[in-house]
Structure formats: C-alpha cells, structure tokens
Structure 1
Amino acid sequence: MPSPAPRPGLLVLMVPLMLAATPPSLPSRAKQDAPDTFSGVERVVAVGDVHGDVDALKAVLKLAGLIDARGRWSGGKTHLVQTGDIPDRGDQTREAYELLMRLEKEALAAGGRVHALLGNHEVMNMLGDLRYATPGELASFADLASGPTEGGLAGHRTAYGPQGRYGRWLRTHAAAVRINDTLFVHGGIAPEVPAKTLAELNQWVRQDLTEGQPPGGAKSAEGPLWFRGYALGDEGTQAALDTVLARFGARRMVMGHTTEREGKIRTRWGGKAVFIDTGLSTGYGHHLAALELRSGRLTALYPEGRVELPVSPP
C-alpha cells in the first residue's frame, strides 16, 4: 500500500481545469470488458486488501455468508466487491487469485457477481515492480516458467504478462464500479481524473497496462489506485468528494488502500466516504471485516457481530 503523498488541499482548486480533460481512446479490447455499472442489486458485500492471505479472505467471505464450508459460493444474488491489493506481503497470492476466479463463475451462475477491482499492487506486479513480493509468493509461480530451471521470477513474469493466466484476467477488470448508488474503488477518485464516466476512468487506468498507449491512470499519484485524499485529507476535502459523487451519479464512495490501524471500518461525512481496509491479512493484524450494503443501510460485519454505520439522509 505504498503511495505518493496526497495533496488534498489542492483538489478543489484543480477541479475546473481537470474537468475539461478527456482521456485518449483505447483499443477496442478495453471496450469489450465487463460492465462497470449495476443497478437493482439487493445486497452488496465489500472486502478490502488481502495481501497474499487466502485464509483470511476465506474467513471473511464465510463471515459474510458468501462461501460455505467447502469454499463454494453460497451468496446467491449478492454482489461481492474486493477492492484490490490481492498480491504482495504474503505467500498465498496465487491461491487468492484462484479462489476469486472460481467464485466469479459460481456467483454468476447463481445470479450474483464477484468484482475483483484493480489495486496499486496488482498493477505493480503487472509492471514488474516486485518490491513487496515475498520469496514464497514468487516461488509459487515457478511452475509457470517456460523453462524448467527458470524459477519463480520467470514464472511470475509469465503469469502477470498480457497473455499470462493472471495478467490476462486482471487486465479485463475495472478500477472502479458503481453498484446502485455506491462507487467502489481501491484508493479513491480525485476530481483531477480526466474522465466524466466510469468507462473513461477505467480506460484511462488501462492505458498503463496496454502497450503503445500514452501514460494513464494506473501509475498516476492522483489516479484511483493511489489517491488517499479522502482518507487522509482535512474536512475541506468533502467538497472535492461531493464533486466526484455528483459527476458519477453516486451517493457514496467505498475505498480500501489506506489501512485503518484500529481494525474497524471507518466512515466520514455521514457515510459518503467509507474505508474498508481494516488489515485483513495476518501481516496487518488479521482484522476480519466486511461491509454490507442493503436496503439503504451500511453494516460492518465483524466476528463479534454486526455494527450499523451512520448514514445521512439522501
């Protein structure tokens, strides 16, 4: 979860300039990816950063009633949103990918959905930045190397490449989705992003993952995978958030990326901003938590019980 330092105080000042910008178009491949807007969803569950701990991921999905004792989808028509940062800092990244890839299919067959969003660590791995990859994590990719003696590093490079098992899968995924009246994103959507729609925003992020494209939003400090302004900014940042919510037709934004050191889900501004990276993985304290959105209510799900979160009237 490394990040360039946020500059929340500049947000409101930059809005007029950046709203006029439009992102360059991408190849038709990006336009054929999964939809980014969903409505009429009765129940949504959101889970934050996993960081290579598949056991913690399974535990929180069981807590939310989304998988059964065998690890199979039991959530029916629920939409699960995992807000990115599946890899790094733990050895079970590959197992976590495989679990979510399987659950995508099982949920869809049951009328539900699994949305595994891009986080900054997914992008770092796709672009070869392995500062936070553990030796055990790299070793787990060894069988994907093209030669028998190339080992985990070569296997990792193959796995995350454009045609690799995980790289191909990740490159079709969104950086942000809207479900009902809620935006879900890894870091946060700043007013500066050169996009007026989610489709444009997701295309802007994919530019950095597509050969031959100009620089995009996956590596930008103000991009949706890195931005921490709403988590760390002062109270004046609410004006910037209101601008973004209005632009994308949403009531609130749910974010991971910035770890809540107390291990609890946090809200700001009457539930307009919700922060769900509670330190799920063992390396961050194993604080199991999921956010449930249902019938206009926000509920934090913990092993010790359910806690209703404050929501201002619309």
Structure 2
Amino acid sequence: MHTKRNTKALPLFVISDIHGYRDEYHTALREAGLSGPDGAWTGADARLWVLGDYVDRGPDGIGVIDDLRRLQGEAAAAGGEVGCLLGNHEIQLMGADRFGREPLPDADDGLYGAWLRWGGVERDIRRLDADHRAWLWSLPAAARVDDVLLLHADTTNYLRYGSSIGEVCTQVRSAMRNADAVGWLRLNHTLAARLSFRDDPEGSVARMLTALGGARIAHGHSPLSDYFGVPLDGIAGPHWYADDRVVAVDGGAYLGGRVLVADLGRKMEDPT
C-alpha cells in the first residue's frame, strides 16, 4: 500500500537576488546545510525555492544559473526540490538578448542599453546558450508551496495577469511570447514594481492571498537596507513584517550585504 507523502512536514527554504554573487550564494547554502563544500546538494528531501534575479550586477550570473540547473537535478534525485522563479532581471536580460538595440521611443539604444543601465553584465549575455534560454523561458512568475505564496517582487501587479497562480504564470509567459520591444519594456516595469505589502499591509497582502492562495508571502526584489531600514552591517536574516504574514529575503548582496536563506519551515513551527 502506498501512502501519500506529507510535503508540509518537509523543510522549506527560500533564497533570492543572488545577482551573480556565486561564492556568496554557495556560502549561504552551505551554512543552511543544503550543499557541501563542492556545491553539491546535501539537503536530502528539503525544498529550496529561489525567488529570481540570478543575473546582472555581480560577477557571474550565468555561473549561478548553471549551478541552479545542476542543483535541481541533484535535489530531485535525493527526493528534494529546487524551484526557481522568474525575476525582473531575468526579464531584462531576455529582452536585451531578444531585441538588442532596436530603438524604443525614449531609448535609441533599445532594451540592450536599458539592460546595461539596470546593471546588465555583458559577459553574461555573451555566454547565454540555447539551454540557458530554454531554462529562463521555463521559469514560472509565481508559485505556492504549502501555505506560502512565492513571488519575486513585492507588488500586487501580478494580479493584472490573472486571479490564480496558473493564470498568472500562463499570462506572463504569453505576454513575453507575444510582446514587441515596447510591450516587453512594459512587462518589465509592471513586474518590477515594489513595496505594495510594506505600504499597504492590510489591503495588499489580503488581496494577494485571497486571489492566489496561501497564508504568508515570501519575496525578494527590495533590498532590506534600501527599503526596510536594516543597516547593511546589521543584516543577519530575512525580514518579517505585516504581522509576520510577509517575509523579505533580499539581503542586498550587490550592495555589500548578504545572500540570505530563509528557513520557512522553522518559522511556521516557531513564529516568535
């Protein structure tokens, strides 16, 4: 007789905004017990979700993508899971790769020039291959694991694309597939908005959880030092807010902060 595995009993971790800081990412996973000295998966049946922004700003965004793709296979073989979301910097990189310097109304150098101004690293785009592109296109815009709604950005703008996780993911991918350069830029701006949950913790959090499900939200995108008043030298872990219904996990690695891993399973068991 087969019994259904209770996934809620399995550890759940999130990490976000690695931004090419490959060494810092490896250190964070080792400290969380999810990888060994060689970077291989040691998390057994744990779930790790990475909330986007693998590339840009830092030294080796493509190396981070390669590490995550390998880790996904290793975790699956061990009974665990590594899931990855689409971040706005992936959208920016993909737009630069797809449309190049095709002029925009307000930018003669097109999405490529805009991507560079947003922190694009030309070494990353030169190393993109067909497998990287396919992986990037496969990334969902949002996910829900157990009772946690996983997003890259702290914005209610996801609801412009649907009122369920499936609709949001399908419509974002459709918008990407059908967009011209101007439409791609509009998509980027929509999904790069921030601070909905900080500035309207009652209305925005309730809207998102009612529409997309879950009891809590985990997001990256907005560095703790810039948007939540945590000094860079005081960042020790993720920031819980909105009555502990939302956790922000962007430790601002590219600003001199940290790549953070949040143990959500432990928080669910001990909310203090």
Q: Which residue of 1 aligns with 2:80?
A: 112
Q: Which residue of 1 aligns with 2:194?
A: 227
**1:259 lines up with 2:223 in the alignment:** yes
Q: Which residue of 2 aligns with 1:294?
A: 265
CA distance in 1, matches of 2:154, 2:161: 14
**1:193 lines up with 2:166 in the alignment:** no
Of 63, 66, 80, the residue aligned with 2:34 is 66
The percentage of counterpart residues that share the same residue type is 23
Of 150, 155, 172, the residue aligned with 2:138 is 172
Q: Contact 1:41–1:78 (CA<8 Å) still a contact in 2?
A: no
Q: Which residue of 2 aligns with 1:53?
A: 21
Q: Contact 2:85–2:152 (CA<8 Å) still a contact in 1?
A: yes
Question: Alpha carbons of 1:217 and 1:229: their partners in 2 closer, same or farther (altered >3 Å)?
Answer: farther
Q: Which residue of 2 aligns with 1:76?
A: 44
Alpha-carbon offset, residue 138 of structure 1: 2.2
Give 2:219's aligned amino acid: M
Give 2:244's aligned amino acid: G
- Aligned pairs, number: 238
Alpha-carbon offset, residue 103 of structure 1: 0.2
Q: Which residue of 2 aligns with 1:139?
A: 123
CA distance in 2, matches of 1:123, 1:184: 17
CA distance in 2, matches of 1:104, 1:253: 23
Question: Alpha carbons of 1:194 and 1:174: their partners in 2 closer, same or farther (altered >3 Å)?
Answer: closer
Give 2:95's aligned amino acid: L
Give 1:206's aligned amino acid: R
Could you state the TM-score of these two structures normalised by the residue count of structure 1?
A: 0.68
Q: Contact 2:16–2:51 (CA<8 Å) still a contact in 1?
A: yes
1:52-110 deviation line (CA, Å, top 9, x unaligned): 11101101011111101111100011111111111001121111011000000000111
Structure 2 SS opposite 1:193: helix
Q: Which residue of 2 aligns with 1:202?
A: 169
Q: Which has the higher helix share?
A: 2
CA distance in 2, matches of 1:63, 1:246: 35
Q: Which residue of 2 aligns with 1:271?
A: 244
Q: Which residue of 1 aligns with 2:90?
A: 122
Residue ranges of structure 2 left out of the alignment (5+ in a row)? 1-5, 97-110
CA distance in 2, matches of 1:216, 1:207: 11
Could you state the TM-score of these two structures normalised by the residue count of structure 2?
A: 0.78
CA distance in 1, matches of 2:9, 2:132: 28
Give 1:270's aligned amino acid: D
Q: Contact 2:55–2:90 (CA<8 Å) still a contact in 1?
A: yes
Alpha-carbon offset, residue 42 of structure 1: 1.4
Of 202, 213, 230, the residue aligned with 1:238 is 202
Residue ranges of structure 1 left out of the alignment (5+ in a row)? 1-37, 142-151, 299-307
1:106-132 deviation line (CA, Å, top 9, x unaligned): 001111111111100000000004224
Cα RMSD, aligned residues only: 2.6
